[in-house]
Amino acid sequence: MFQSKKPTSMNSTHERVVVVGNTNNNNMCVQGDSGLVLTTDPKPRLRWTVELHERFVDAVTQLGGPDSQYLNINDLSKFLMHHVPPMISYMFSYVAMDLHLYVVSFLLLTSSLYKFSEATPKTIMRVMGVKGLTLYHLKSHLQKFRLGKQPHKEFSDHSSMKDGERASALELQRNTASSSGIIGRSMNDNVHITDAIRMQMEVQRRLHEQLEVQRHLQLRIEAQGKYMQTILEKACQTLAGENMQNSAGYVINHKGMSAGNNQEVGVPNGMKDFGTPPLNFPSLQDLNLYGGGGCQDEQLELQQGMERSSSALLDGFINITDHNNNISQLAGKKRLSPNYTTSGSGANGKSPLIMWSDDLRLQELHGTSASCCIGSQDHDPFIKGDHHHQIQNIGLSMERGSSDIDSSVSDLNYETKPMQLAGGEIKKFDPSARLERPSLRRAQQLSAERMSPIINLPQGRASPFG
Amino acid sequence: MVVDELDLSDYSPTTTATTTTTEDDHGCNWNGWSPVVDWDMLSGDHDDFHDLIESMMDDKTMLHHHHPARVLNVHDGCNSAVSPGTVMMMDEEVTNNGGGGQDFKGLRLVHLLMAAAESLTGMNKSRDLARVILVRLKELVSPTDGTNMERLAAYFTEALLGLLEGAGGVHGKHMLNNGPCHRDDHHQTDVLAAFQLLQDMSPYVKFGHFTANQAILEAVGHDRRVHIVDYDIMEGIQWASLMQALVSRKDGPPAPHLRITALSRGGSGRRSIATVQETGRRLVAFAASIGQPFSFHQCRLDSDETFRPTTLKLVRGEALVMNCMLHLPHFSTYRAPDSVASYLSGAKTLNPRLVCLVEEEVGPTMDGGFVGRFMDSLHHYSALYDSLEAGFPMQGRARALVERVFLGPRITGSLARIYRARGDEESCSWGDWLGAVGFHPISITFANHCQAKLLLGLFNDGYRVEELATNKLVLGWKSRRLLSASVWTSPNSEL
């Protein structure tokens, strides 16, 4: 059998051989049992027929190409050509700047990569499954194959090659021109694919980088959001502090204006309960505060809101703090239930609107000296001054589970701003959680968490609103 | 044709009177009326003003009252000879076009604004005419209602009015102090809320900050000490993400010591120093929370806001970075160009490792003079408004707040700047200035560019980022460039 490790030992075989015929090097070739074609010269050498070579190439490609260290582009291309629908591989040839394409290509690549392993003589032998093929056969042929696949490259590039082998490689190449010609031609057809694949590799590198960048970006945005929160919290606290001082004098008017539901509740107790709990300021979600979902008829909203919310007042207070127990004494008021619809139609004004405005305005509004309307967390209908004031319902999203909301006091003249309930515990809203498009979804998820408190104390405080 | 009546009575908010009479020819019945607006004389081009006035004949304004019309006599303000004036009478018919009406109205507003700008500085310079037009404009628009164009026109109107009353804009700052949109008037919480909203609604703030931060990170990759001088630190938002990035840096020294010096404006007193100190405290707390070695310093500017490099405390061996953010929230009040110039030239003497500059991108202003730049500025801000609206069409009030707090003052400031520079040569951007002074550009890396693109991907589709020069990234909305972030280095800095 041809189990000898050295080609020279083929002499010792007593295998039944079949004369195959002449090849262009005028050697007699015989074919053994194993299907291998051997030359009949004193040193029988394995003849790499086209058929055998193709099997060899197939095995090599399966294993990831002749170059075990890195992907061989040609093999990859051939592999892709065979295994991947032509359309996709054609797509690879375009360097698209689209992340999706990167992802797709990357995934495809990685999936195909997993099939690749090292192409060593041993593995090739295993894969080919041809009897009589020895490691030496494969080793030398593999080297020649590598050389042959890069016809442009200098043979001297292969430092591992010895001169003799190099010469023989050259000779082999010439000699097997016929057999390898076909292979070469098919390789040349892949030049374009080669370039495309090279670009693809570049793209893949870029893709890696992009993923890195994206990860970092996410972290940075988060950090910024956290920092922003600290700012707003501090602002809230300062306002809460000021608020506490004036808590005694407040009369909370519950949406007095438009709906005519003037419930006045003394709030001192509730307000005292405001500590300095962590406050989350409304974020983008609070935009609903401003937008009201585009519903122009805010009067309507207000009325709806008012109908729904029974205890106007201090829902905001209630929800805000940790001291729910304290608040509960304020009202058996139900918590602002999360039926805040964030849709543009404006959330129901469930919570009372406590407006902090200066004396003047409120007086004309309510006829009370100092009325504060605190928009509840859920939403803040903002009462804007006189009858034309519009209460804007803040579609604070309960979806986020933010039961705590900063109510915002509106600028009676302009728009209303969400007002931070002093000391309210705003549900922790993680602004960084959203990296998606801040579209309606964000708008919907208003949580007054990040709104800075705008508490304009009635007495002796210049109205910033105009 | 229908002649319109323009009510230019007392500058009251009550709107124009409407009469139902329509006149077929121009000056027929108006002899009884004392003043006559001589539109023909005022406008170089007949048709402009006719169209203008016709355009004013319409819908929108509340035509509730019926006052006798009085037309202001602007003869006195006019320079050239008088030709029989044409008096327009406002027709009562309110042309209620549908969608077309809006565009129409926007166009009319633009015409009016342009007319006002022209009358302020143009050929037919007439303050009275400008006043007339502006009053009229003021009646048409309101800062909180209406479409983008209307609100924008309202702010521009106010800005122009400010210019008008500013006695020629000699004292820019005084003028702004009288303006309705003075920054300090805003309650602190308003400012915060608006800032938060601005951040969330648009990428402007983040774009500038993140681009600069990324450039800084790349430049100080292997340094142990980093010193950043910030021209306008505001709330210190930018540095939060930088600190986070520094802390999680993989290569180089684990967490370089970061030192930030913030410039505080001593001149304006009150809030500025306290704000900066507060910001410093916050930054220190934040840095402590993430484990970043950090120290904060303040450096006072002169009363005229000139930066003196010698007042800066430098430590040997640290990488110096000069940060100069001139874009949206930072520039709400008017910053004298001299101040910025002094800062940047002072930067040159310090040989910083890096200079980060983020500024507004102005269009190519040829020799349009004031009007040209005015229109360019109008274009710029309308793009801004559009971008805000496109992202959040529903949240009109939020946008109105942002506009009031930030954009309005900014409009006023930039108009003031344009007005002051109207006689001068073309104002170049600070980036060009830096290049001219001798700073070398540092190219924006792929990572930076990629980050910008990803960031914009979080927002609306209309934003785009382009790389104008190797060291400059420009953020734009649709086809209008808005912000540019550029990175420079001093030629002598040890790199």
- Write the pLDDT tens digit of every residue in A66-92: 665 444 445 555 554 555 454 544 444
Higher pLDDT: B147 or A344? It is B147
Query: Cα angle at A246 between A243 and A248, to 5 degrees?
Result: 125
Question: How high is the pLDDT of residue B293?
Answer: 87
Whether B12 shows a pLDDT value over 50: the answer reads no
CA dist., res. A265 & res. B131, Å (int): 50
CA dist., res. A396 & res. A445, Å (int): 6
Question: C-alpha B480: how far from its chain's center?
Answer: 14
Question: How high is the pLDDT of residue B352?
Answer: 85
Q: B-chain residues within 8 Å CB-CB of A395?
A: none
Comparing C-alpha atoms, which of A156, A157, A126, A120 is closest to residue A141? A120
Of A217, A417, A455, nearest to B455 by CB-CB distance is: A217
Judge whether B237 is closer than 8 Å to chain A, CB to CB: yes
CB contact under 8 A, B190 and A437: no
Least confident of A179-193, A448-462, B441-455: A448-462
Tokens of A126: 């295993």
Nearest chain A CA: its distance from B50 CA (Å):
34
Judge whether A436 is closer than 8 Å to chain B, CB to CB: yes
Whether A347 shows a pLDDT value over 70: the answer reads no
Given a contact cutoff of 8 angstroms between Cβ atoms, the answer to whether A59 and A121 are in contact is no
Given a contact cutoff of 8 angstroms between Cβ atoms, the answer to whether B123 and B44 are in contact is yes
Question: How high is the pLDDT of residue A419?
Answer: 40
Alpha helices in B407-445 (DSSP H): 408-420, 430-437
Question: How high is the pLDDT of residue A198?
Answer: 92
Judge whether A163 is closer than 8 Å to chain B, CB to CB: no
CB contact under 8 A, A291 and B189: no
Judge whether B250 is closer than 8 Å to chain A, CB to CB: no
Question: How high is the pLDDT of residue B428?
Answer: 67
Least confident of A13-17, A165-169, B170-174, B300-304: B170-174
Whether B45 shows a pLDDT value over 70: the answer reads no
CA dist., res. B1 & res. B7, Å (int): 19
Q: How many CB atoms lie within 10 A of CB A466?
A: 12
Residue A86's contacts (CB-CB under 8 Å, 6 or more residues apart) are: none
Tokens of B3: 């002649």
The pLDDT mean for chain B works out to: 71
Q: B-chain residues within 8 Å CB-CB of A356?
A: none
Question: C-alpha B312: how far from its chain's center?
Answer: 30
CB contact under 8 A, B190 and A214: no
Least confident of A6-20, A159-173, B124-138: A6-20
Question: How high is the pLDDT of residue B368?
Answer: 65
ipTM metric = 0.71
Q: A-chain residues within 8 Å CB-CB of B400?
A: 290, 414-415
Residue of B nearest to A221 (CA): B241
Q: A-chain residues within 8 Å CB-CB of B193?
A: 408, 417-418, 451-452, 454
Higher pLDDT: B309 or A140? It is A140
Question: How high is the pLDDT of residue B271?
Answer: 62
The dihedral through the CA atoms of A316, A317, A321, A327 has a sign that is negative
Judge whether A215 is closer than 8 Å to chain B, CB to CB: no
Judge whether B312 is closer than 8 Å to chain A, CB to CB: no
Judge whether A205 is closer than 8 Å to chain B, CB to CB: no
Higher pLDDT: A428 or A242? It is A242
For A230-254, letters b (16+ CB in 10 Å) and e give bbbbbbbbbbbeebbebbeebbbbb
CB contact under 8 A, A224 and B240: yes
The pLDDT mean for chain A works out to: 54
Comparing C-alpha atoms, which of B86, B92, B89 is closest to residue B41? B86
The dihedral through the CA atoms of B305, B309, B310, B314 has a sign that is positive
CB contact under 8 A, B200 and A287: yes
Q: How many CB atoms lie within 10 A of CB A324?
A: 16
Whether B115 shows a pLDDT value over 50: the answer reads yes
Average pLDDT on B183-208 reads 78
Helix (H, G, I), strand (E, B) or coil at B341: helix
Higher pLDDT: B247 or A441? It is B247
Go through chain B and tell me how many residues it has.
Answer: 495
Higher pLDDT: A417 or A91? It is A91
Residue of A nearest to B236 (CA): A227
Least confident of A207-216, B45-54, B73-82, B369-378: B73-82
Average pLDDT on A385-391 reads 38
CA dist., res. B54 & res. B314, Å (int): 64
Under the banding of pLDDT at 50, 70 and 90, the label for residue B210 is: very high
Question: How high is the pLDDT of residue A204?
Answer: 93
A residues 347-406 closer than 8 Å to B (CB): 392
CB contact under 8 A, A227 and B286: yes
Q: A-chain residues within 8 Å CB-CB of B190?
A: 411, 417, 452, 454, 464
Q: What percent of chain B has pLDDT over 90?
A: 2
Listed ranges A337-346, B20-29, B209-218, B270-279; the one with the highest mean pLDDT: B209-218
Comparing C-alpha atoms, which of B116, B385, B457 is closest to residue A435? B457
Judge whether A212 is closer than 8 Å to chain B, CB to CB: yes
Give the pairing of strands A264-266 and A371-372: unpaired
Interface-testing mutation among B200, B284, B404, with chain A (most A C-beta atoms within 10 A): B200
Judge whether A278 is closer than 8 Å to chain B, CB to CB: no
Of A232, A234, A290, nearest to B398 by CB-CB distance is: A290
Of B392, B404, B458, nearest to A443 by CB-CB distance is: B392
Backbone angles phi, psi at B261, to 5 degrees: -110, 125
Nearest chain A CA: its distance from B244 CA (Å):
6
Question: How high is the pLDDT of residue A201?
Answer: 93
Question: C-alpha A433: how far from its chain's center?
Answer: 12
Higher pLDDT: B24 or B314? It is B314
Listed ranges A162-171, B9-18, B351-360; the one with the highest mean pLDDT: B351-360
* Partners of A267 in beta bridges: none
Whether B416 shows a pLDDT value over 70: the answer reads yes
Higher pLDDT: A442 or B404? It is B404
CA dist., res. A301 & res. A343, Å (int): 12
Average pLDDT on A394-421 reads 38
CB contact under 8 A, B391 and A438: yes
CB contact under 8 A, B451 and A239: no
Whether A322 shows a pLDDT value over 60: the answer reads no
Go through chain A and tell me how many residues it has.
Answer: 466
Whether A253 shows a pLDDT value over 80: the answer reads no
Judge whether B217 is closer than 8 Å to chain A, CB to CB: no
Nearest chain A CA: its distance from B229 CA (Å):
19
Higher pLDDT: A396 or A23? It is A23
Q: A-chain residues within 8 Å CB-CB of B240?
A: 223-224, 226-228
Judge whether B200 is closer than 8 Å to chain A, CB to CB: yes
Under the banding of pLDDT at 50, 70 and 90, the label for residue A168 is: low
CA dist., res. B325 & res. A154, Å (int): 55
Higher pLDDT: A398 or B147? It is B147
Chain segment B331-363, per-residue pLDDT in tens: 655 566 777 788 888 888 888 888 888 888 877
Judge whether B82 is closer than 8 Å to chain A, CB to CB: no
CB contact under 8 A, A239 and B189: yes
Count of CB pairs separated by less than 8 Å, A with B: 175
Interface-testing mutation among A95, A205, A220, A409, with chain B (most B C-beta atoms within 10 A): A220
Of B237, B396, B458, nearest to A291 by CB-CB distance is: B396
Alpha helices in B183-225 (DSSP H): 188-201, 204-219
Nearest chain A CA: its distance from B441 CA (Å):
23
Listed ranges A13-27, A286-300, A401-415, B135-149; the one with the highest mean pLDDT: B135-149
Under the banding of pLDDT at 50, 70 and 90, the label for residue B151 is: confident
- Reported as type and span, the H/E element at residue A442 is helix A440-444
Q: What is the pTM of this model?
A: 0.52
Nearest chain B CA: its distance from A436 CA (Å):
6
CA dist., res. A355 & res. A383, Å (int): 7
CB contact under 8 A, B396 and A230: no
Average pLDDT on A180-207 reads 79
CA dist., res. A228 & res. B237, Å (int): 7
Higher pLDDT: B32 or B412? It is B412
Q: B-chain residues within 8 Å CB-CB of A281?
A: 196
CB contact under 8 A, A220 and B199: no
For A384-416, letters b (16+ CB in 10 Å) and e give bbeeebbbbbbbbbbbbebbbbbbbbbbbbbbb
CB burial of residue B269 (10 Å; 0-12, 13-18, 19+): exposed
Q: What percent of chain A has pLDDT over 90?
A: 2
Under the banding of pLDDT at 50, 70 and 90, the label for residue B100 is: low
Higher pLDDT: A343 or B433? It is B433
Average pLDDT on B231-240 reads 85
Comparing C-alpha atoms, which of B72, B294, B190 is closest to residue A412? B190
Of A235, A438, A443, nearest to B188 by CB-CB distance is: A235
Under the banding of pLDDT at 50, 70 and 90, the label for residue A293 is: very low
CA dist., res. A53 & res. A179, Å (int): 8
Question: How high is the pLDDT of residue A372?
Answer: 35
Backbone angles phi, psi at B348, to 5 degrees: -60, -40
Average pLDDT on A420-427 reads 38
Higher pLDDT: B82 or A41? It is A41
